């Protein structure tokens, strides 16, 4: 959580840092702040509760002029959102300031020691101790800033991405990371940029270095870029070329990023499957699997780990793998998996799914699975992310940057890639009939066109949303492949419209949730004509008999559910296994429009952040 940005160069830092903070606001938006070193040598700090826009209004015309600066947008963990808890934080003197993303687990003990030594800590945050600790290390030694940061961090337990500025070193930034991401941008004019992800950097430079865990970097206008580990080993920076384009992180005329990302799905799915389906040869290409085929062919179980929407993609994958590859699958919330005592075996294949590749629980779960000897395969969207680097092999989803907090295109890309993996493994193992395999390749290849058709119904979905938007509860029901979609539909509605929603297997409804149904309750049935269709029709009848406003997501040409429901949205006919890629789209649009009608901040829903880098 939290976004951090820093700049050192020859231009004023303020506009660069503010622009970067706007791009990172999806990571947290309850307070924001900036610190610069001004031309008179002073350390100038401005911070404010609220969004980056509130910080900008607060700064007004008195914009900092310094050419070195750090900025932060916060998602509160320790201490409520207010001006004092906002970053940057200073030490006891006015010499240095820090920004931090992560959690310092032993902050109470450090704080107590520092307080005994006369430090006056002002905030309730865990982060502030870092500024005081570095200052304390420097005051008792002749260490320079770089070494002092390393020494201070050797006393810290927890996760951090942090940047320090020091008015005694006005041409240097010091950055460090452990379990929270940091990217360094190298400008052609000798300037440096630092950010939580590449989005604030891409408009300035495409040359980046991804800082690794327990590395500390000095970015100095005279000395250049130097990296050492906390234990003082020298690291040679590896410069990567960013493949991101600036247009991909702009709204492109859409009202919200979420809407843009929903409409990007034909293209993002195309990008996910590109180069992986060979229709001529009738085969799939997935080198991350072929290179480790021994692990997959001997797997006695597949364990799928993820959180939120990625966990829902994992549930779809459970149906896919069991149907096509005939391997038993367990899907686990990463956050639960790591805190029980899971049985992990060396012949397990673990699939970790994450859009951001930075989710702390998923990362930690991967580490325990690896330690137990399992082969870990990552399905990530963000290239070079921590999870992508931590896993033994993997496949990128190539959905492009997803900025809206509610995940949409990342989900369909995850499902598309997982479908390819399940089909590929099934094909190689001979557990899928050749004719079905060939047919599915062709159908999957055509899915982007079918998603386009679903999107053509956006206007109709908007008018249904108008009728549902005042509801306080909603129920999403589906069976088989559509059960995870019911969960995903409910999550989308909850997180952006604040309407309480639940997803249930349609048949389970009789065991409790049916009691909730009254005349005002929207009930959304995801009921394509698949092999459980007849059963779902009975469930629709059961709800109909008890009131409830029914919306059916149905296959085009459907008469039965469509005639029972108050509203129906049609999706094109396709194989049961591919239908989740279509049926989720109207649910995304429905949640989006309901949230807009309720005046909610769709891209930045309350209390949430895009990337959950704390456990």
DSSP state of 88: P
Q: What Rg do the C-alpha atoms of the chain give, in angstroms? A: 25
Minimum distance from residue 307 beta carbon to ligand M6R (Å)? 4
Q: How many binding residues for ligand M6R (CB under 6 A)?
A: 16
Q: How far is the CB of 490 from ligand M6R (least distance, A)?
A: 11
Burial zone of 144 (CB within 10 Å; 0-12 exposed, 13-18 middle, 19+ buried): middle
Chain residues 300-329 in contact with ligand M6R, contact rule CB under 6 A: 307-310
Tell me whether residue 200 or residue 308 sits nearer to ligand M6R (CB atom).
Answer: 308
HSE value, Cβ hemisphere, 13 Å, CA-based, for 52: 24
Site string for ligand M6R, 198-217 (x = CB under 6 A): --------------------
Q: What are phi and psi of 124, to 5 degrees?
A: -95, 5
Region 594-613 residues binding ligand M6R, contact defined as CB under 6 A? 611-612
Q: How far apart are CA 467 and CA 172, in angstroms?
A: 57
**Which one-letter DSSP state was computed for residue 500?**
E
For residue 180, the SS3 value is coil
Closer to ligand M6R at the Cβ: 159 or 406? Answer: 406
Of these residues, 2, 307, 380, 600, which one is catalytic? 2
Asked if 359 touches ligand M6R (CB under 6 A), the answer is yes
H/E stretch holding 369 reads helix 360-371
Among 52, 161, 405, 614, binds ligand M6R (CB under 6 A): 405
CB of 609 to ligand M6R, least distance (A): 8
- The pattern of x and - marking residues 472 through 501 that bind ligand M6R according to CB under 6 A reads -------------------x---x------
Minimum Å gap between C-beta 359 and ligand M6R is 3
The reply to whether omega before 88 is within 30° of 0 (cis) is yes
The closest of 542, 582, 550 to 476, measured between CA atoms, is: 550
- Of the pair 272, 407, the CB lying nearest ligand M6R is at 407
610 carries an active-site annotation: yes
Three-state SS letters, 522-570: EEEEEECCCCCHHHHHHHHHHHHCCCCEEEEEEECCCCHHHHHCCEEEE
**Which stretch in 75-83, 219-227, 349-357, 420-428 sits in contact with ligand M6R by CB under 6 A?**
349-357
Which residue in 101, 272, 355, 482 binds ligand M6R (CB under 6 A)? 355
Q: In the complex, which residue's CB is closest to ligand M6R?
A: 308
| Residue number with CB closer to ligand M6R (216 or 405) | 405
**How many angstroms separate the CA atoms of 221 and 224, rounded?**
6
Q: Which is nearer to ligand M6R, 497 or 611 (CB)?
A: 611
User: Which of 22, 49, 409, 610 is an active site residue?
Assistant: 610
For 454, half-sphere exposure in the C-beta direction (CA atoms, 13 angstrom radius) is 32
Distance, CA of 111 to CA of 108 (rounded, Å): 5
* Pick 31 or 362: Cβ nearer ligand M6R: 362
Is 370 known to be catalytic? no
List residues with catalytic annotation: 2, 610
List residues binding ligand M6R (CB under 6 A).
307-310, 354-356, 359, 362, 405-407, 491, 495, 611-612
């Amino acid at each position: 959580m939290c976004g951090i940005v820093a700049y050192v160069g020859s231009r004023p830092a303020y506009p660069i840092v503010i622009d970067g903070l706007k791009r990172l606001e999806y990571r947290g938006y309850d307070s924001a702040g900036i610190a610069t070193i001004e031309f008179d040598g002073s350390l100038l700090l401005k911070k404010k509760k609220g969004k980056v826009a509130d910080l900008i209004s607060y700064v007004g015309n008195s914009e900092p002029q310094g050419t070195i600066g750090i900025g932060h947008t916060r998602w509160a963990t320790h201490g409520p959102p207010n001006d004092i808890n906002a970053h940057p934080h200073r030490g006891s003197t006015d010499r240095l300031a820090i920004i931090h993303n992560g959690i310092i687990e032993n902050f109470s003990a450090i704080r107590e020691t520092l307080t005994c030594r006369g430090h006056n800590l002002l905030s309730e945050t865990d982060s502030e101790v870092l500024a005081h600790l570095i200052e304390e290390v420097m005051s008792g030694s002749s260490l320079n800033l770089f070494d002092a940061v390393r020494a201070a961090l050797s006393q810290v337990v927890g996760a951090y991405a942090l940047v320090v500025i020091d008015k005694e070193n006005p041409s240097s930034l010091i950055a460090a990371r452990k379990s929270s991401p940091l990217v360094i941008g190298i400008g052609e004019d000798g300037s440096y940029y630092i950010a939580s992800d590449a989005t604030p950097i891409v408009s300035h430079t495409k040359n980046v270095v991804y800082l690794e865990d327990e590395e500390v970097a000095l970015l100095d206008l005279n000395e250049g870029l130097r990296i050492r580990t906390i234990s003082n080993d020298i690291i040679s920076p590896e410069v990567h070329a960013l493949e991101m384009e600036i247009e991909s992180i702009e709204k492109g005329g859409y009202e919200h990023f979420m809407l843009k990302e929903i409409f990007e799905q034909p293209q993002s799915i195309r990008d996910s499957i590109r180069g992986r389906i060979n229709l001529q040869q009738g085969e799939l290409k997935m080198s991350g699997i072929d290179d480790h085929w021994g692990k997959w062919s001997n797997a006695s179980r597949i364990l799928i780990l993820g959180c939120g929407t990625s966990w829902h993609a994992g549930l779809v994958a459970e149906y896919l793998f069991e149907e096509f590859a005939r391997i038993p699958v367990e899907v686990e919330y990463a956050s639960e998996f790591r805190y029980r005592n899971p049985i992990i075996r060396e012949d397990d294949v673990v699939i970790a799914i994450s859009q951001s590749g930075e989710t702390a629980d998923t990362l930690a779960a991967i580490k325990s699975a690896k330690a137990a000897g399992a082969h870990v395969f990552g399905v990530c969207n963000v290239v070079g992310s921590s999870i992508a680097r931590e896993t033994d092999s993997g496949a990128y989803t190539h959905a492009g940057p997803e900025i809206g907090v509610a995940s949409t295109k990342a989900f369909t890309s995850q499902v598309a890639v997982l479908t390819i993996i399940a089909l590929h493994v099934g094909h190689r193992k001979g557990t899928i009939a050749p004719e079905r395999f060939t047919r599915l390749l062709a159908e999957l290849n055509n899915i982007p066109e079918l998603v386009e058709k679903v999107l053509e119904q956006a206007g109709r979905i908007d008018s249904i949303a108008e009728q549902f938007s005042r509801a306080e509860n909603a129920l999403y029901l589906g069976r088989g492949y559509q059960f995870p979609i019911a969960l995903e539909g409910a999550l989308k509605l909850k997180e952006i419209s604040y309407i309480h929603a639940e997803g249930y297997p349609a048949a389970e409804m009789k065991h409790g949730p049916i009691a909730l149904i009254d005349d005002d309750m929207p009930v959304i049935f995801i009921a394509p004509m698949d092999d459980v269709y007849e059963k779902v029709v009975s469930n629709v009848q059961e709800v109909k008999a008890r009131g409830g406003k029914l919306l059916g997501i149905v296959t085009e040409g459907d008469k039965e559910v469509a005639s029972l429901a108050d509203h129906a949205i049609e999706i094109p006919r396709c194989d049961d296994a591919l239908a989740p890629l279509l049926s989720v789209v109207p649910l995304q649009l429905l949640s989006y429009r309901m949230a807009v009608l309720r005046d909610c901040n769709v891209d930045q829903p309350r209390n949430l952040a895009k990337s959950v880098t704390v456990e």
